[in-house]
């Protein structure tokens, strides 16, 4: 997968896996990584799917309607890519925290829904429920931060609550930061994510 790797200055800090939103690329979230954990290594990936030239991490059939078969295939592809990258760049595969926005948050959520040890934690900015009707792995104590907008037209508040419940019921420790905003990423949300990160991963 097209990506960028930046070595960290402190090898004990989790590697940040950056996953952009629809139409973005691997450069988009670098500033977030600096705010969240400046000493961490960064693996920032570009989605392998193109929607009219816009990179995404999996196909969709319509706005908010995911192509489930492709989602499952792409989730495995990304999980394998993290495995390969850990070998290539010599980082600890068990110490990876995802930071995703929108479509990137959705594939991060899908990694959590499908693979028990894919991530050590996740910061999900404006995620949706990636899949319904499946049994989640044991997520005991997995720290998950969700940033959500009360007026998000792409991810309604009820869907955020549904995601929170699904993750909590599987054992994850979920923290939701609500804002009176829409789908956009706010500075306050990133600041709270970085405080949350310091508490959970220092
Ligand atoms: C998705 O397709 O993943 C969501 O609708 C978010 C987005 O617009 O990318």
Over residues 57-65, mean pLDDT: 95
Name the DSSP class of 47. Answer: -
pLDDT, averaged across the chain: 97
- Ligand 1, atom 7: nearest CA belongs to which residue? 103
pLDDT computed for residue 202 by the predictor: 80
- Ligand 1, atom 1: nearest CA belongs to which residue? 103
Task: State how far the Cα of 72 lies from the Cα of 171, in Å rounded to an integer.
Answer: 22
Question: Is residue 108 very low, low, confident or very high in pLDDT (cuts 50, 70, 90)?
Answer: very high
- What is the residue extent of each domain of the chain? 3-201
- Ligand 1, atom 9: nearest CA belongs to which residue? 103
Give the neighbor-by-neighbor strand order of the sheet with 3-6: 3-6, 42-45, 15-19, 96-101, 121-125, 143-149, 173-179
Handedness of CA 72, 20, 52, 148 (dihedral sign): positive
| Tokens linked to 100 | 């995703």
* Cα 130 to averaged position of ligand 1 atoms, centre (Å): 10
Catalytic residue status for 114:
no
**Alpha-carbon dihedral angle through residues 87, 16, 130, 73, given to the nearest 10 degrees:** -20
- With the most atoms of ligand 1 within 8 angstroms of its CB, the residue from 70, 74, 102 to mutate is 102
114-123 tens-digit pLDDT: 999 999 999 9
13-29 tens-digit pLDDT: 999 999 999 999 999 99
Over residues 147-159, mean pLDDT: 96
Over residues 151-168, mean pLDDT: 97
pTM of the model: 0.97
Of the options 3.40.50.1820, 1.10.1370.20, 3.60.15.10, 3.40.50.80, the CATH number for the domain spanning 3-201: 3.40.50.1820
């Amino acid at each position: 997968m097209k990506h960028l790797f930046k070595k960290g200055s402190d090898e004990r800090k989790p590697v940040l896996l950056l996953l952009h939103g629809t139409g973005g690329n691997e450069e988009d979230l670098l500033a977030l990584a600096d705010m969240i954990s400046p000493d961490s290594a960064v693996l920032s990936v570009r989605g392998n799917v193109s929607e009219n030239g816009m990179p995404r991490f999996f196909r969709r059939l319509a706005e908010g309607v995911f192509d489930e078969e492709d989602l499952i295939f792409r989730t495995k592809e990304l999980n394998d890519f993290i495995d390969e990258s850990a070998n290539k760049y010599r980082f600890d595969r068990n110490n990876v925290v995802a930071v995703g926005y929108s479509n990137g948050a959705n594939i991060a959520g899908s990694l959590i829904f499908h693979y028990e040890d894919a991530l050590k934690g996740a910061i999900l900015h404006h995620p949706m429920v990636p899949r319904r009707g499946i049994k989640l792995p044991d997520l005991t104590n997995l720290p998950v931060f969700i940033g959500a907008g009360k007026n998000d037209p792409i991810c309604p508040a009820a869907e955020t609550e549904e995601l929170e419940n699904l993750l909590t019921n599987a054992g994850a420790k979920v923290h939701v930061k609500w804002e009176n905003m829409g789908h956009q990423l706010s500075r306050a949300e990133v600041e709270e994510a970085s405080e949350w990160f310091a508490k959970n991963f220092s």
